[in-house]
Amino acid sequence: MSSELKNLSSYNKDEVPSGERCSFGIVVSDWNDEITNALLEGAVQTLIEHGTDEKDIHIQHVPGAFELPFGASELSNKKKFDAIICLGCIIQGETRHFEFIADAVANGIMQVSLKEELPVIFGVLTTNTLEQAKERSGGKYGNKGVEAAITALKMSDI
């Protein structure tokens, strides 16, 4: 794992723009909810820490990671967000299902972002094991939700 030597969620707070006048949508998968709830908590807390008012954070739940692009598209239709964060967790199984879902989700999120000309942030864990997912959702390697929120703050400032 490339994150083997560090917490990937470490960042310089002085380099992150304020979210004070921003509004964010968050689409979160309910599949693997132990992990995705931790990602959501990290994202929301980070946005608030950087000045975003809690009332300016809209959370939309979807059943699984495959539904994240549609959820992001629906939120983008509201035309009120500075960025949309997609949070999910896809864990490798014994079949190729993982590859198809991970690829479709990544491409779907990118397509929504380009079509809507809106930052749509990929905060989806794609891990080999549940343990790896735990380590990336608040464990020793950080929280991908925090990273996604930082990316959203930076992209909303472009």
Task: Output the CA–CA distances (angstroms, integers) from residue 122 to 53, 73, 95, in the order listed.
Answer: 22, 13, 23
d(CA 82, CA 117): 10
Is there a catalytic annotation at residue 97? yes
Among the options 50, 58, 61, 97, which is catalytic? 97
Residue 105, phi then psi, degrees to nearest 5: -65, -50
In the structure encoding, which two tokens stand for residue 12, read together? 């310089």
Catalytic positions, written as ranges: 97
